[in-house]
A and B are shown apart, each in its own frame.
Chain A
């Protein structure tokens, strides 16, 4: 069975016919070829599939693609305009070794985006709560926490590295 879906992804409008059985993560990867959204567990536990739906992070493996009709989505591809110019959060992850294999990274970066939007100057505890929906099997989280602390400083400093306040 096919269902027509119209979505805005990373500010671009798409009109596609999807298999009704597709979850949103499948549609992003296979129909729109936005493979930055990863699928780890497919059951809502790991956060690798995190995307921003109407301004809020969600797990795209728990959303039926057809249900995203008419909605606005941001994926990891929508964060920076080019491959050479990274978003300050991405730059902070790179410079603080906030990733190893990179599988969890798109989800971690988008959860960081949400966290810093809600709370620009989080404590370490608040950071750990903010990324509790994202599992990482490589880093042991410490470098991710440091990346987020650095990202918070960069964002309050116009995207540049350096001390905040």
Chain B
């Protein structure tokens, strides 16, 4: 039972939801899968005056092939992201990230939009969004804009989504032909959040290479490692990438799962491992 009173709304159309969001502004909270919001309300950590459920709006639940990008509706559940053929084919690292989120029940209910909007610093999706160069569609009653992944995550559990706005779609470019990609996570037990996670995309012929690391700052950090890999993967290039990962994780926080130095050391390890894994996928 939640202790604080709130008003509950369950629109069935996006337009209706947007006008409710406009009317209630900061007093309203969007309810997606509820896997983060409902426990926070039960614990009294979040006390919205109005809760607007998006669970009855069916047109935000889709995965579409749109030429160069895969369009994913914000209400698409983690389980669908994990097993959808289009995602497995064009963005295997995204499917890998989704399949490791929480547990079966969490994946059945939690949504990709909810996770991205929640912006936990060690969530599974953000490093993937950064290396894949995703764009986020943000809508309100008055506007409709696209924001790049690098500008979407603005701080600790903060995003570019403002009052009255909703993250409605995620557009993820298909990996370039022949590119290698990988996603890895370090976690204590099955079902727990990553302590540190990492994603990488390397273009065929090492034309470009990016790695992003989560759990080592207020939000995931991305490093362009193209110059280190100009001659391919070697002990020397991996050492340079490891140093770059250490430097990029200077804002790492400490908690029960690992202190700052541990996270920075793991940033080194996971940056190297994810690059090796991605390079092995180049074809």
Task: Report whether A62 and B6 are in contact in the complex, using a CB–CB cutoff of 8 Å.
Answer: no
Smallest Cβ distance from B80 to chain A, in angstroms? 11
In the assembled complex, B235 has its CB within 8 A of some CB on chain A: no
Selecting from B97-105, B126-134, B156-164, B238-246, the interface stretch reads B97-105
In the assembled complex, B258 has its CB within 8 A of some CB on chain A: no
Of A50, A56, A132, the residue contacting B191 (CB under 8 A) is A132
Of A57, A61, A70, A133, the residue contacting B38 (CB under 8 A) is A61
With A56-B108, A64-B31, A132-B191 as contacts: A20 and B7 at CB distance below 8 Å? yes
In the assembled complex, B35 has its CB within 8 A of some CB on chain A: yes
With A58-B105, A64-B31, A64-B38 as contacts: A43 and B43 at CB distance below 8 Å? yes
Which A residues lie within 8 Å of B33 (CB)?
Answer: 62
Tell me the nearest residue of chain B to A135, going by C-beta.
B191
In the assembled complex, B34 has its CB within 8 A of some CB on chain A: yes
Which B residues lie within 8 Å of A62 (CB)?
Answer: 33-35, 38-39, 109
Task: Report whether A128 and B104 are in contact in the complex, using a CB–CB cutoff of 8 Å.
Answer: no
Selecting from A21-29, A72-80, A98-106, the interface stretch reads A21-29
Tell me the nearest residue of chain A to B37, going by C-beta.
A62
In the assembled complex, B237 has its CB within 8 A of some CB on chain A: no
In the assembled complex, A3 has its CB within 8 A of some CB on chain B: yes
Which B residues lie within 8 Å of A50 (CB)?
Answer: 105
With A22-B1, A63-B34, A132-B103 as contacts: A43 and B191 at CB distance below 8 Å? no
Task: Report whether A130 and B190 are in contact in the complex, using a CB–CB cutoff of 8 Å.
Answer: no
Question: 1/0 per position for B187-199, CB-CB distance to A under 8 A?
Answer: 0001100000000
Please report the C-alpha to C-alpha distance between residue A134 and residue B104 in the assembled complex, in whole angstroms.
10
In the assembled complex, B260 has its CB within 8 A of some CB on chain A: no
In the assembled complex, A136 has its CB within 8 A of some CB on chain B: no
Task: Report whether A23 and B8 are in contact in the complex, using a CB–CB cutoff of 8 Å.
Answer: no
Please report the C-alpha to C-alpha distance between residue A62 and residue B5 in the assembled complex, in whole angstroms.
17
In the assembled complex, A12 has its CB within 8 A of some CB on chain B: no
Please report the C-alpha to C-alpha distance between residue A135 and residue B139 in the assembled complex, in whole angstroms.
39
Question: 1/0 per position for B1-21, CB-CB distance to A under 8 A?
Answer: 111111110100000000000
Tell me the nearest residue of chain B to A50, going by C-beta.
B105
Within 8 A of A (CB), among B1-60: 1-8, 10, 31, 33-35, 38-39, 42-43, 51, 53, 55-56
